[in-house]
Every structure is written in C-alpha cells, then in structure tokens.
C-alpha cells in the first residue's frame, strides 16, 4: 500500500463548521449550497481568491460535463433525504474504503480531488502521486467509497477530461473492494504507446529524437504533456514500455525525467489530424555568438587540419583571372599570441593638467604653420611627459596629429616610443583613435613601422571587433607585406571570433578587398572561411564573408569545398533565413554541377525523404528553397519529375495542399487542379479520407483551420448604372 501522508484536512478544510465525527448526512441545505459554491457549479458562484499554487476546479468554466456532475450530486442528495445517499456500515476499514484513480493529468491537485469527492462522504486522506498519474482517496466508510467510485466513473471522469487541457483520456476510478490494489487487466499488444508526464517544453522533434532511437516511428502526436507514438514494429513498442517510470540510459534513450510509457488500447488511439506547417527554421545562429564577437566555437565545430590537408585544399582554389599563386602553407608561419581584450584607458589626473585654452592656441599656430621646424620640434618635445593623456584629449589629440604631420622623423620616433605601447587603447578611444590613425598614417621609417606592428599585433582580433579599432588596423595595410602579414594571420587564426562581430566581419571584408593584399593571403583567408562555413552561414555578420567568397573573391572551386561541409547540417540550414540563401547559391549555380548534385541528392534523399519533409514543414524558408531546388539547372528531366512526385506525396500526406504558404509549390508539382477542386488526399502517415478526421466529418482542412474560400464570381459592371 501507499505510504501514509498527513491528512489534506490539515491544509484545507471546506467544512470548517463540521467536526471530524460529523458526516455529510447531518449537513443542512446551506452546507449543500456551499458544496456547489466551491465546486463552481452554482448559477451565481461566489468570487474566490485566486490561488496560483493549485489548479482548481472552481477556476474552470462550467460545461456539459459540469452540468452532468451537478446532476449526479443532486441525484445523490435526493435519493436519501435529508441525509447522504448511503448509510455508514460497520465493516472494518481497508481496501473497501479506498478509491483508486489512474491516468490523472499533471494539473490535478489534492485540493481539486477533495472538492470533487467530498459530496459523497467524509474523506480521511488523499494521497496524490503526480509523476505516476495516480491517486488514492480514503473515505471514512466503505459505502461512501463505493458511491464515489460509481459516480466518479459516470460523471467525474468525463468532467475532468472536458475541463483539463492535458487530460488526454478519461481517468479510471475504481472502488478498492472491487479491484484490490487496483490491478488492471493486461492490455492487448499494440504498436501505439502513450508517453505521459513529459518534461515541460517537449517539442515534437525532441520526442521523435527520444523514441526514434528505439525504432522507426510511423506517427507521433503531442497533446499537452502527453503524446502517443506509433511504432512501425510491435517489438519496438514493447521495448518502449521498458522506459516506464525510468530515469537514466536504456534502449538508446537518455532521460532525466520520469516519464510514463503505457500501451494504448485501440479505442483510445487519438484520431490522426493533418499536420500544420511547423515553423522549424529561424534566423538565430546555430552556435553561440555575439554581435561584439569573441565567443569561441564549440569543440565539435572547430576545424582541425594538418599542413598536408591544408595544402591540398588550397590547391583546389584558383583565381579566374590574373596571377594564380601557389600557396603551400595554410597556417601562419609565425606563432602569434593574442589578447582577448584591450584595457580601456582610464581618465586619470593627467587630463586635468591640460590647459585647453593653451592647446587651442597651439593648434591654431600649428595649423597656420606660423612656427619654424625647430619651434615645432621643441613644442613636441616639451609635451612628451603628457603625450599619452594629450592624445586621448578631445583638443589635445588634434595637437598630437599636427605634431606627427610637421615634426622631423627623429622627434616622431621619440614620441612614438612613448605612444606605441598605448596604441591599442588609444585606438578604441573616441578621441584617441584619431591620433592613433594619424600616427600610423605618418609613419615613414622602418623603425617607426616596426614599433607600430609590434604593439598592435597582439590586439589585432580585439581591434578588428571594435567600432574604432578596426580602422586603426586597416591603417597598417599601406605598410605593405610582409609587415602587414600579422593582420591576415589573425584572420586565419581567429576566423570565427572576428567574423561573428558586426565590425569584425566588415573589416575583414575591407582588408581582403584592399589592393595591397597579396593573393596568397586571400587564398588562406578564403580557406579559413570555407572551414567555418557552417557557423558563418547562420551568423548575420559571418554570412557576409560567405557572400564575399561566392561573389567577390574571384576564386573557382568554392562550391566544391563548401558543399560537403554543409551536407551534414542540411535540414537546419535549409530552414534558416540566411543559410538557405547560401544553399541556394550552390544548388542554382552552373559552374560546378557536381556540388549542386551533392546537395540536391542529400535534400531530397529518396526514398526516405526525411530531410525533405523537415525542410518542407517550414512554411517560410523551407518551402521556398524546395520550389527553387526543383528548378535547379543541375537536374535532369526524369530526376526532376521524380523529385516533384516525392514533394507532391509529402504535401498530400501532411495536408498542406490548401495552406496558403504552399499553394505555389503545390501548383508547381501539379496539384493545381486538386487545389481548385479540393480533391486531394489528406492525413498523416498514409491515412487519408474521412477516416483521418472522424470528429470533424468530411470538412476540408481549410475550413477546420479557419481558411475561408469564396467561390470565384464574374463581376459585370454596367457603365450606364454608374
């Protein structure tokens, strides 16, 4: 037997005026009115304080089931006036005092059961086991339990089925004396199992992923926190029953939530309904990312290639015109270290020592070129002590710019020796960035350029991701190569971290399009983009680099490298706002038909068509991609007809022919007449016709889904009536 629990009366007592020895037989008319009151069955129920800790019957709307339940209570009270229906007996208490309930919804609470069963007799205890969907109600007398069980099966069960959203079948209510320990008869073997008490937020895809590891699934349907799963093989359904109330790993299924798995009788199988178009796509990246960049890739998506593989892949990229250099090393020749961030310059007391009036006059003198070369150098040397604070001051930075424009190279080098360690922090400062860019632009000697490169290189990824710092890095490109090699090395070493950022992706594209960038480096960065094409395809910023790769890189061989990497993730990419456009570029291009064939074969995957169905059920991006894919120049007429027939059968099987988002595709695959006349097969997993919709007759899906179709009428307007 179940373990004893504290009486529910210790928490909630609907009859505070009654003692524990009294019974409902002694309850007067006012108490009966109160009973209807808290049951929510009165014509004018009293307002109740909302209690969010319980799912209350009193909060539910009255219905036909509620009326039936009220009639049952009336019948109980009328058959034996003025007391209760049955008299207490002298039988010893035991199983005959218990009422067992099975297949209860997760919304059922002890308070709800008390309110439903209290009118039939005094209740001593209620034990509720929500994870198992069961409960035990212990009455004071067996006669009360017998009457409650009889009325429960006739009225309370249908009432709960009608009122509770996740109550998928009528609960079983049994008197303990007639069925000790509530032993149910062994159900007949069935390929359909009921999975109840699902974890909150369980989706159709997650359910199929769980149960699909046991065996092939023919059909699945979720209602609330329960689901019915139909397996293709009876043996798989029997194996699924082993997961009943189990947590851990069994039969290939890992669950941390104690789900219930039970056989479903034939009469309890839910009728098949046409599947609505599911929104399974979206626009979010498939991996964690940030518009500010810097978030690393998950380990399973980090590309790992050795030098020989990198060389082989580089040899597949060729420039269409001009010189096509051979590149042997994909990785950087020099091992670089990078800082993840740049310390923002603090506004210290140095800024307070700056006399703004003085520096305004100094700026006017320098801009008017009223000073000789010696005077300019002398002025600059006098400011060396505060040159860093001066460079980030809103007036002082303009003075520093004039110094680097007009001073001799020796003086510029002396100033740069002090400023170079602070170039990165100056580069991300709203005032200092102008001084930093001017300093780099005015660097002439090898010593000055070397100082700049040495102190910027460790901060290259962080600078490229900054709204001001990316311009500082771009100023180094005119130094030429190999001095500017560190920029391209950073793009290869930290492709994803830089490309996911708003400014990082755009600054990478600008550097690649710079006329000074050697083609060897363009090939290296292009290959890095190819190796990261899956996360980049779903990134709003990273996808810009893939577009550059296809449109502006002037490289052949890109589709052949990208297509094999997209293939394993095709179902997710084809329903993504940005990635679907990348897939379409490969499918519809004519320069590399083998790459198009690779993705088309994976997309339509005949005869299983699992990926195709997942893509088809996305009414926003997936359906458009399939329509364009059927028009691919890579398809032969016979293959195109075969693919179109597969799409046609999926549209019919999922009941999507009349859905507005699919009208154009239905017309494209030859369902135009069926769309116009409404003559099409519906259902799921082969079920079609009226049998698929027994509860709603033969009404077409368009009417059941609220789609109203008006008959086309010819409208004639007589001009003489206007």
What is the predicted pLDDT for the residue at 409?
Answer: 93
What is the predicted pLDDT for the residue at 282?
Answer: 62
What is the predicted pLDDT for the residue at 673?
Answer: 56
Question: What pTM, to 2 d.p., does this model score?
Answer: 0.57
For 97, residues 6+ apart whose C-beta sits below 8 A from its C-beta are 124, 138, 139, 140, 141, 142, 144, 145, 176
What are the Cα distances from residue 645, in Å, to 277, 446, 536, 625, 670? 19, 69, 34, 16, 9
All structural domains of the chain? 8-182 (3.30.70.330), 192-268 (3.30.70.330)
What is the predicted pLDDT for the residue at 187?
Answer: 52
DSSP state of 192: E
Q: Which residues of the chain have pLDDT under 50?
A: 1-66, 68-69, 72-73, 76-77, 79-92, 180-186, 274-279, 349-351, 675-722
The encoded tokens of residue 460 equal 């290259």
What is the predicted pLDDT for the residue at 681?
Answer: 37
Q: Determine the Cα–Cα distance for residues 416 and 253; give it in Å rounded to an integer.
A: 64
Cβ contact 198:227 at 8 Å: yes
* Helices 519-531/307-314 angle, 10° precision: 110
Closest CA to 618 of 669, 573, 668, 584: 573
What is the predicted pLDDT for the residue at 75?
Answer: 52
What is the predicted pLDDT for the residue at 370?
Answer: 83
For 90, residues 6+ apart whose C-beta sits below 8 A from its C-beta are none
pLDDT tens, residue by residue, 298-330: 777 788 888 888 888 988 989 988 888 888 777
Local structure of 595: helix, strand or coil: helix
The encoded tokens of residue 688 equal 């079609």
């Amino acid at each position: 037997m179940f373990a004893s629990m504290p009486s529910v009366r210790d928490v909630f007592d609907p009859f505070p005026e009654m003692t524990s020895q009294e019974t409902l037989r002694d309850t007067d008319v006012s108490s009966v009115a109160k009973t209807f009151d808290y049951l929510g069955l009165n014509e004018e129920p009293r307002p109740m304080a909302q209690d969010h800790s319980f799912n209350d019957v009193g909060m539910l709307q009255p219905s036909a089931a509620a009326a039936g339940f009220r009639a049952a209570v009336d019948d109980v009270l009328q058959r034996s006036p003025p007391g209760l229906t049955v008299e207490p007996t002298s039988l010893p208490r035991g199983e005959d005092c218990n009422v067992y309930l099975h297949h209860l919804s997760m919304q059922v609470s002890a308070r709800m059961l008390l309110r439903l069963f209290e009118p039939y007799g005094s209740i001593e205890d209620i034990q509720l086991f929500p994870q198992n969907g069961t409960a035990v109600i212990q009455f004071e007398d067996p006669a009360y339990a017998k009457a409650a069980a009889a009325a429960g099966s006739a009225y309370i069960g249908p009432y709960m089925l009608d009122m509770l959203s996740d109550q998928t079948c009528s609960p079983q209510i049994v008197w303990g004396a007639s069925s000790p320990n509530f032993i149910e008869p062994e159900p007949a073997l069935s390929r359909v199992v009921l999975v109840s008490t699902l974890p909150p937020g369980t989706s159709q895809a997650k359910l199929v992923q769980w149960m699909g590891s046991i065996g092939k699934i023919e059909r699945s349907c979720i209602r609330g926190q329960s689901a019915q799963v139909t397996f293709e093989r009876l043996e798989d359904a029997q194996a699924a029953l082993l997961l009943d109330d189990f947590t851990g790993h069994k039969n290939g299924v890992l669950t941390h939530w104690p789900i219930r798995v039970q056989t479903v009788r034939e009469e309890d199988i839910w009728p098949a309904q046409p599947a609505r178009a599911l929104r399974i796509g979206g626009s979010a990246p498939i991996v964690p990312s940030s518009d500010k960049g810097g978030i690393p890739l998950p380990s399973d998506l980090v590309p790992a290639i050795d030098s020989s593989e990198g060389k082989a892949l580089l040899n597949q990229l060729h420039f269409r015109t001009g010189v096509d250099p051979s590149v042997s090393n994909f990785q950087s020749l020099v091992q670089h270290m990078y800082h993840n961030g740049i310390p923002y310059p603090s506004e210290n007391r140095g800024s307070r020592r700056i006399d703004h009036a003085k520096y305004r006059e100094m700026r006017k003198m320098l801009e008017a070129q009223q000073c000789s070369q010696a005077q300019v150098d002398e002025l600059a040397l006098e400011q060396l002590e505060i040159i860093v604070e001066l460079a980030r001051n809103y007036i002082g930075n303009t003075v520093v710019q004039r110094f680097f424009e007009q001073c001799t190279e020796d003086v510029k080098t002396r100033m740069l020796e002090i400023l170079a360690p602070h170039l990165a922090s100056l580069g991300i400062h709203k005032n200092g960035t102008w001084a930093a860019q001017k300093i780099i632009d005015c660097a002439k000697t090898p010593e000055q350029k070397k100082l700049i490169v040495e102190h910027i290189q460790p901060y290259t990824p962080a600078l490229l991701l900054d709204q001001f710092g990316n311009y500082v890095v771009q100023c180094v490109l005119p130094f030429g190569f190999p001095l500017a090699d560190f920029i391209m090395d950073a793009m290869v070493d930290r492709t994803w971290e830089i490309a996911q950022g708003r400014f990082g992706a755009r600054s990478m594209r600008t550097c690649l399009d710079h006329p000074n960038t050697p083609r060897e480096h363009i090939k290296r960065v292009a290959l890095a983009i190819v190796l990261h094409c899956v996360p980049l395809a779903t990134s709003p910023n990273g996808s810009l680099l893939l577009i550059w790769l296809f449109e502006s890189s002037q490289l052949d061989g890109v589709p052949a490298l990208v297509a094999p990497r997209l293939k394993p993730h095709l179902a997710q990419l084809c329903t993504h706002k940005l990635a679907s456009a990348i897939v379409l570029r490969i499918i519809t291009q004519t320069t590399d038909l083998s790459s198009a064939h690779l993705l088309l074969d994976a997309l339509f995957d005949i005869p299983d068509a699992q990926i195709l169905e997942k893509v088809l059920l996305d009414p926003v991006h997936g359906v458009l991609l399939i329509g364009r894919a059927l028009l691919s120049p890579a398809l032969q007429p016979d293959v195109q007809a075969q693919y179109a027939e597969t799409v046609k059968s999926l549209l019919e099987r999922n009941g999507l022919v009349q859905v507005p988002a699919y009208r154009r595709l239905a017309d494209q695959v030859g369902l135009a007449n069926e769309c116009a006349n409404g003559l099409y097969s519906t259902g799921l997993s082969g079920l079609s016709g009226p049998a698929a919709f027994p509860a709603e007759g033969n009404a077409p899906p368009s009417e059941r889904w609220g789609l109203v179709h008006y008959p086309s009428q010819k409208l004639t307007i007589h001009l003489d009536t206007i």
